[in-house]
A and B are shown apart, each in its own frame.
Chain A
Amino acid sequence: MVDPVVDLQRTLAELRRLAEDLAQNAPGPVLVLPAIDPARRRYRLHELEYADGEEFVESIHRAIVKRAPSPAELLSCLDRYYRGANKVELIGELRGSAEARAIAVTITGLGMRYRLWRLARLRLLGGLFRRVACLFEIHRFFEEQKRFAQSQALRLGERDLRLQIGIDELRRKCADLAAQIAALEARGRTGSNAE
Chain B
Amino acid sequence: MKIALLTPTFVANDAVGTDMLKMAEALARPGTEVRLFADRVVAARNDVHRSDEVVAWLTDADDVLIYHHSVAWPPVIAILDALKCRRLLRYHNVTPHEFFYGISHDYMISCAKGREETSELAQMPFSGWLADSQFNKDELVALGVPAAQVQVLAPLNRTDDFLRHAPDAEFLRRFRDGRSNLLMVGRIAPNKGHAELIDAFACHVRNHDREARLLIVGKQDYRLATYRSQLLARIEFHGVGNSVIWLDNISDAQLRACYQLADAMLYLSAHEGFGVPLVEAMALSLPVVAYAAAATPETLGDAGLLWDSTDPRLYALSLQRLKQDADLRAQLVEAGLRRYREHFHPDVLAARLRDIVGIH
Q: Is the CB of B317 within 8 A of A31?
A: no
The yes or no answer to B280 lying at the interface (CB within 8 A) is no
Q: Which residues of B contact A (CB under 8 A)?
A: 97-99, 101-102, 104-105, 108-109, 111-116, 119, 190, 195, 199, 202-203, 206-207, 220, 222-223, 225-231, 234, 237-238, 302, 305-307, 311-314, 316-318, 321, 325, 327-328, 330-331, 334-335, 338
Structural contact, B317 and A166, CB atoms closer than 8 A: no
Q: What 8 pairs between A and B have smallest CB-CB spacing?
A: A166-B222, A71-B112, A19-B313, A165-B225, A30-B195, A71-B115, A22-B313, A2-B334
Binding site for B on A (CB under 8 A): 1-2, 4-6, 8, 11-12, 15-16, 18-20, 22-27, 29-33, 53-55, 58, 68, 71-72, 74-75, 78, 155, 158-159, 162-163, 165-167, 169-170
Q: Are A2 and B330 in contact (CB under 8 A)?
A: yes
Q: Are A8 and B99 in contact (CB-based, < 8 A)? A: no
Measured between beta carbons, the chain B residues less than 8 angstroms from A165 are 222, 225, 228-229
Q: Is the beta-carbon distance between A30 and B313 smaller than 8 angstroms?
A: no
Q: Are the C-beta atoms of B238 and A25 separated by less than 8 Å?
A: yes
In the bound complex, residues from chain B placing their C-beta under 8 Å from that of A167 are 222
- Main SS of chain A's interface residues? helix
25 A-B Cβ contacts within 8 A? A2-B327, A4-B335, A6-B328, A11-B328, A15-B317, A16-B314, A19-B311, A19-B313, A19-B317, A20-B313, A27-B199, A30-B227, A31-B101, A54-B108, A71-B111, A71-B113, A74-B97, A159-B105, A162-B104, A162-B223, A165-B225, A165-B229, A166-B225, A167-B222, A170-B222
* Chain B at the A interface: SS class: helix
Question: In the complex, what residues of B have CB within 8 A of residue A58's CB?
Answer: 101
Pick from B109, B116, B302, B334: contact of A8, CB under 8 Å: B302
Contact between B206 and A23 (Cβ–Cβ < 8 Å)?
yes
Chain A residue numbers with a CB within 8 Å of B318 are 15
Bound-state Cα–Cα, A116 to B237, Å: 51
> What residues on A are CB-neighbors of B305 within 8 Å?
8, 11-12, 15
**Min CB gap A172→B, angstroms:** 12
Q: When chains A and B are docked, how far (Å) is the Cα of A163 from the Cα of B104?
A: 12
Would A18 and B199 count as touching, CB distance under 8 A? no
How far is the CB of B128 from the nearest CB of chain A, in Å? 25
Known: A30-B195, A68-B98. A15 touches B105 (CB 8 A): no
Task: Name B237's contact: one of A5, A16, A27, A54 (CB within 8 Å).
Answer: A27
Partner of B195, one of A1, A22, A29: A29
**Nearest B residue (CB) for A165:** B225
18 extra interchain contacts, Cβ-Cβ under 8 A, other than A11-B328, A12-B305? A5-B327, A6-B331, A12-B306, A15-B317, A19-B311, A22-B207, A25-B202, A25-B238, A31-B98, A31-B190, A55-B102, A58-B101, A71-B115, A75-B113, A78-B109, A162-B222, A162-B226, A165-B229
